[in-house]
């Protein structure tokens, strides 16, 4: 003999289905929020891109993946560019990488022997390639406000502020935080 469900059994089953449906809906909302947060972080806070060219050799090699802290977020966190930072910037729609040599208010001098002087102090450190002016003239630049002066590490081949002048901060995409070597992937 088949037992007919009572009204309490029907109500209990419907309540269980409603609770299960709410659980799935809550899970779907959480997944959507997580996807939105990941999208925001990867598109508005950070940028992951591949480097092209040898302008920053050996610090950044052709094909390396770079994780970039976007300029907009840097402004929110009151972070600023400083000499020695590796940055990504766009000129004529093309992405370039370079090292900040001077910021607004600094004076940069590149003499014909390849010596770079910022505010009267000769650049030293890990630059392995000599710096040359474009032509036979002494190159003196006073960096304007809201710009940075950028040079590539591979100075004999790099296209940088010697060609474009000081780079406006609006064209700087951000500061390179991490480099993932292509051979390490």
Integer Cα distance of 152 and 103 in angstroms: 15
113 DSSP assignment: T
Closest CA to 30 of 38, 41, 20: 38
Give pLDDT, residue 113.
Answer: 75
Q: Which helix (H) or strand (E) holds 88?
A: strand 86-91
Give pLDDT, residue 123.
Answer: 81
**Tens digits of pLDDT across the chain (185 residues):** 688 889 999 999 999 999 999 999 999 999 999 999 999 888 888 999 999 999 998 889 999 999 999 987 777 667 789 999 999 999 999 999 999 999 999 999 988 777 889 999 988 766 667 676 666 667 788 999 999 999 998 888 889 998 899 999 999 999 999 999 876 54
- Check: pTM over 0.95? Answer yes or no: no
Give pLDDT, residue 5.
Answer: 85
Integer Cα distance of 144 and 104 in angstroms: 5
Give pLDDT, residue 65.
Answer: 93
Q: Which helix (H) or strand (E) holds 167?
A: strand 167-168
Give pLDDT, residue 137.
Answer: 64
Give pLDDT, residue 160.
Answer: 92
Asked if 116 and 109 touch (Cβ cutoff 8 Å), the reply is yes
């Amino acid at each position: 003999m088949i037992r007919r469900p009572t009204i309490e059994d029907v109500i209990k089953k419907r309540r269980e289905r409603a609770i299960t449906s709410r659980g799935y809906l809550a899970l779907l909302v959480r997944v959507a929020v997580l996807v939105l947060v990941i999208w925001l972080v990867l598109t508005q806070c950070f940028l992951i891109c591949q480097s092209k060219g040898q302008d920053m050799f050996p610090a950044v090699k052709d094909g390396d993946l770079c994780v970039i802290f976007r300029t907009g977020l840097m402004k929110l966190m009151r972070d600023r560019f400083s000499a020695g930072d590796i940055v990504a910037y766009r000129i004529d729609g093309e992405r370039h990488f370079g090292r900040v040599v001077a910021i607004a208010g600094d004076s940069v001098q590149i003499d014909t022997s390849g010596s770079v002087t910022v505010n009267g102090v000769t650049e030293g450190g890990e630059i392995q390639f000599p710096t040359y002016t474009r032509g036979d003239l002494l190159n003196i630049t006073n960096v304007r406000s809201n710009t940075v002066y950028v040079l590539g590490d591979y100075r004999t081949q790099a296209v940088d502020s010697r060609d474009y002048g000081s780079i406006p901060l609006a064209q700087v995409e951000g500061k390179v935080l991490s480099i993932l070597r292509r051979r390490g992937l």
